[in-house]
Chain A
């Protein structure tokens, strides 16, 4: 088998899925660290968050990471669609009666649907904040683009869609949570990283990561909405 055979093989598609997925997990950690500054109140929090946003859009190393992130999202989605379509083709006639819950977790059976929810969220999320920050008209504060004010205004009772935005955000994080509870440890298995001693640790970490990270993300818009009531 030649080496371009590797790229065509089902396992290579799995490696790509795992590498992009696990890379996106590290992205989530970085993104979360920045967002948590929204918990700091008053002018101090505004300054800290805006400086972080400025840093994220201009610092060269971060720029490289952000391009890697865009590429990962893209490849993860395209690869996910290719794999899901191939899997459908592998069982053209389904079962009349199938008891999926008897042998596999709900998350593991619904990665495609969960991913699609995350993708829909990503589009709206990037339109609201990323696009505005990069290309839109932004208010200024102390010489910096004032993303802080934009975020607060978006998740605010003053915004007619504010409550919907908060609820949508929380639901998307719920989907992300289910996606990660299966995906985190699944990524390691796809790469062949399994060991009697370390796999239980990876599984526990995946659980904590998959619940903790989306929970912290989700708590931010809820906090912003309630404190602005």
Chain B
């Protein structure tokens, strides 16, 4: 396949940045999107240029690093996939492909396509955990009975990989899907109950502090989420936050 890539280039956080056009030829339809970018970078390096900076790690859809906004959609046209799981057979020979970084004030561009998603880490640090005693006599988690449907729902919420596609797709750059998944994975389990109220309040507060936008329930996040995180998590968080605030915890 022969393609024309329009790639965002930005030397650093302070640089204004611009789109750059690169033709690539001989792309195999079996390549993953990241392999195609590797090919592009190989070509740029051979021509003596500066390769395109982008984040990646596992290349199997579990780390959530490969943030790329491809042809107007987070992780490109596929559903339920990250960029590393997107294959070039999803495109046609001769296609023009626009590749941009996640756009949100809370995710500043580091270089080219790489953004700083540490805002998510700070939200987790604010309350995305359960406090347990690690004295050596810790209770085995499996000793606490959890109804199967509840365990399944908690597990679904916990599959969120923190990729940020929800923020990138949301017209308001809202992080509600991510935060609500992280709130829900504990709110649905017995171990999460003691800190349930303080957790949701602290995490929402941190989310606001990071400058993410407000949810207007467009649902774009859930459509673009590679892990199929459901909007019911957002409703649960809205409920829990209201309850926690009313109780004045």
Contact residues of A with B, CB < 8 Å? 1, 3, 5-6, 8-15, 83, 86-87, 89-100, 102-105, 108-109, 111, 182, 185-186, 189-194, 196
Contact = CB atoms under 8 A, between A and B. Distances in A.
A189 B241 contact: no
A87 B173 contact: yes
Contacts of B236: 192, 194
B105 A91 contact: yes
Interface size class of B (residues with CB under 8 A): 35 or more
From B212, B216, B220, B245, name the one whose CB has the most chain A CB atoms within 10 angstroms: B216
Contacts of A8: 208
B39 interface: no
Interface string B210-249: 0111111111100110000001101111111110010010
Given A95-B72, A192-B236, A90 B231 contact: no
Given A3-B248, A100-B171, A91 B213 contact: yes
Given A9-B208, A100-B220, A189-B231, 7 more contacts: A11-B241, A90-B172, A91-B104, A104-B218, A108-B216, A192-B240, A194-B236
Contacts of B72: 95, 97-100, 102
B34 to A, nearest CB: 20
Given A87-B172, A91-B103, A186 B204 contact: no
A11 B216 CA distance: 11
B238 A14 contact: yes
Q: Looking at chain A's contact residues, is the secondary structure mostly helix, strand, loop, or mixed? A: helix
A89 B105 contact: yes
Nearest to B230: A194
Contacts, number: 138
Interface string B158-169: 000000000001
From A1, A11, A96, A109, name the one whose CB has the most chain B CB atoms within 10 angstroms: A11
B73 A103 contact: yes
Contacts of B43: none
Contacts of B172: 87, 90-91
Contacts of B235: 189, 192-194
A96 B101 CA distance: 10
A83 B215 CA distance: 9
Contact of A90 (B6, B105, B220, B224): B105
Contacts of B204: 9-11
A54 B130 CA distance: 61
B100 interface: yes
Contacts of A191: 238-239, 242
8 contacts: A9-B205, A10-B215, A11-B242, A91-B171, A96-B6, A96-B19, A102-B223, A108-B219
A5 B172 CA distance: 22
Contact of B98 (A90, A97, A109, A111): A97
A87 B201 contact: no
B156 to A, nearest CB: 13
A29 B178 CA distance: 37
Contacts of A90: 104-106, 172-174, 211-213
B103 A93 contact: yes
Contacts of A100: 72, 171, 220
Contacts of B33: none
Contacts of A111: 216
B69 interface: yes
Interface string B196-207: 000001101101
B125 interface: no
Contact of A99 (B71, B217, B232): B71
Nearest to B245: A6
From A90, A102, A104, A192, name the one whose CB has the most chain B CB atoms within 10 angstroms: A90
B238 A97 contact: no
A92 B242 contact: no
